[in-house]
Amino acid sequence: MTRPRDTLTRLCYTKILIMEIDLNSELKINEIFYSIQGESTYAGERTVFIRTTGCNLRCTYCDTKYSYYEGEMMSLEKILQVVRGYNADYVCLTGGEPLLQQNIHKLIHILCGENYKVSLETSGSKSIENLDSRVKVILDVKTPDSGAKDSFLMKNIGFSRENTEYKFVITSEKDLEWSENFCRQHDLLKKFTILYSPSHGQIAESWLAEKILQKKLKVRLQLQQHKYIWLSTTRGV
């Protein structure tokens, strides 16, 4: 089914989608909150975040360990009700690892059908092959010092689309060199937006900025804006 353009047809299209999907289907949700997007090329936008529960990785720098287990089952209908209440244009699905739960595909399908801008943050350890083509995928490729270096599913490069963004959290000089080699080996720089993010509190932002300038890297420096607006330990932002 192709996506309709005019407003009336889109509304009918969305109703059909909802009729096709059981809204009683559930996801285990850690939290849903409304904030400013701090990462990706959507940084700065008003955003509804849907954080799912559960992660198959244990990265050394993880700042959302509470999402490993905490959460409650919520129906798609309830999730959509909460999202709509914030009246925002952009929805970010994050975790944990959202792709651990099969029903995330149903939620994405409905959100895209309702004309939200939708992004999905994933480690790339699970296949993105069957994701709705309308969702922006942020692939967080794990560097050596993350402790999950070999978790990335290489075939996801082939499943990436033009709007896919690749994120590398840099914690050391070794991580930086590894990320450069990874991008070169897989020809990512010419095809995708590449985000280099300094691990908060582990390396100086200025150090990474200077490295990008010195090496003339064709990447985008990404700071976690929310950690500068609020305390880095504040939840729900």
Give all domains of the chain, ordered by start, each with its CATH number: 7-229 (3.20.20.70)
The confidence score (pLDDT) of residue 13 equals 46
Amino acid present at 232: S
Other beta carbons within 10 Å of 13: 17
| Sheet with 46-52, side-by-side order of all strands | 72-75, 26-36, 46-52, 90-94, 117-122, 136-141, 165-170, 193-198, 220-221
Q: What angle do CA 136, 141, 144 make, to 5 degrees?
A: 170
Percent of the chain scored above 70 by pLDDT? 92
Return d(Cα 198, Cα 221) in angstroms, integer: 8
What is the value of pTM for the model shown? Answer: 0.88
The confidence score (pLDDT) of residue 51 equals 98
Return d(Cα 42, Cα 205) in angstroms, integer: 20
The confidence score (pLDDT) of residue 7 equals 46
- Please tell me which residue, 237 or 3, carries the higher pLDDT value: 237
The confidence score (pLDDT) of residue 229 equals 84
- 4: pLDDT confidence band, cut at 50, 70 and 90? very low
State yes or no: pLDDT of 48 exceeds 60: yes
Amino acid present at 40: S
Closest alpha carbon to 140 in 187, 178, 194, 101:
194
Burial of 10 (0-12, 13-18, 19+ CB in 10 A): middle
Per the prediction, the chain carries an average pLDDT of: 91
Mean pLDDT of 56-68: 95
The pLDDT tens digits for 169-210 are 999 999 999 999 999 999 999 999 999 999 988 899 999 999
State yes or no: pLDDT of 55 exceeds 50: yes
Amino acid present at 148: A
The confidence score (pLDDT) of residue 224 equals 85
Structure-block tokens of residue 108: 């994405």
Q: Which residues of 80-112 are buried (b: 16+ CB within 10 A; e: fewer)?
A: beebeeeebebbbbbbbbbbbbebbbbbbbbbb
Give the H/E segment covering residue 27: strand 26-36
- Paired strand residues for 140: 167
What is residue 46's DSSP assignment?
A: E
The confidence score (pLDDT) of residue 14 equals 47
The pLDDT tens digits for 154-164 are 999 999 999 99
Q: What angle do CA 30, 35, 39 make, to 5 degrees?
A: 90
- 16: pLDDT confidence band, cut at 50, 70 and 90? very low
Beta-strand pair 193-198/165-170: parallel
The pLDDT tens digits for 85-107 are 999 999 999 999 999 999 999 99
Return d(Cα 122, Cα 98) in angstroms, integer: 7
Helix (H, G, I), strand (E, B) or coil at 143: coil
Residues 6+ positions from 95 with CB-CB distance below 8 Å: 30, 51, 52, 53, 54, 55, 64, 67, 121, 122
- 211: pLDDT confidence band, cut at 50, 70 and 90? very high
